[in-house]
Structure 1
Amino acid sequence: MNCSSRLLAALYGATSAGLAWTAVLEYRYGPMWAACLFAAASIVPVIGVVRESVICDQRRALAGWARRAAAPSGPETDAAEDIVRAELDGACCERWWTSLGSDHDRRCPHRIPRSSAA
């Protein structure tokens, strides 16, 4: 996380703590519906903190992809090989691969036919 993301996460945390404290005070001295409202509202800033961490992870992954794309291509960094390797790893069994996803081997854990028919 960068500095602004950390500051925003701290503000989210303070807001969540303030709303939770208000929910406790409303539970003790106020109407129950207000306590429930403030308790639910105290969860919302936590979603913001999670969102900021996801954005940070996505930025980090994007920077890694950009570094790999900028690196000189060689036999180890060929994009076509990466695509073929990913497709072969995605196949669950040989019969599935050769039958275009309509049949499976007997030992295959995914014996449900995967077809594109609706």
Structure 2
Amino acid sequence: MTRSSRLLCALYLATSTGLAWTAVLEFRYGPLWAAAAFAGASMVPVVAVVRETESAEPDRPPRAAPRTGPRGSAAADALVRAELAAACCERWWTSLGTDHDARCARRLPRSSAA
């Protein structure tokens, strides 16, 4: 947490304390609706402190994918080649198997019905 974010959190907490004290005074001497409004408003800076502390945490780098040897990459290449060979036309590939090009030999849409 940086020095500026700590200062900002201190200001948020001071604002929250002031609003809570105003809510107590309104509860004692003022209308009840104003006390409820100030009590609700005193929670907003608390939420800001929580968000500030969460954003101050350093981001973890994404986990690297496990490295596969030449055998694993050859298997992945073979799988990709098989999937590309099964695609009958460009529109079928981009529409997830629902549409076909006008020149496609397999223009009948595939159905998932049994």
TM-score, scaled to structure 1: 0.53
- Deviating above 4 A after TM superposition, structure 1's stretches of 4 or more consecutive aligned residues are none
Letter matched to residue 45 of structure 1: P
Which structure: greater helix fraction? 1
From the CA coordinates, give the structure whose radius of gyration is larger: 2
Cα deviation for residue 54 of structure 1 reads 0.8
Identity across the alignment (%): 61
| Matching of residue 29 in structure 1 with residue 14 in structure 2 | no
Equivalent position SS for 1:61: coil
Query: Which residue of structure 2 lines up, in the alignment, with residue 39 of structure 1?
Result: 39
Q: Which of 77, 81, 84 pairs up with 2:66? A: 81
Cα deviation for residue 2 of structure 1 reads 0.3
* Backbone CA RMSD of aligned residues: 1.9
TM-score, scaled to structure 2: 0.55
Letter matched to residue 3 of structure 1: R
Query: Which residue of structure 1 lines up, in the alignment, with residue 9 of structure 2?
Result: 9
Q: Unaligned regions of 5+ residues in structure 2, if any? A: 68-114
Letter matched to residue 61 of structure 1: D
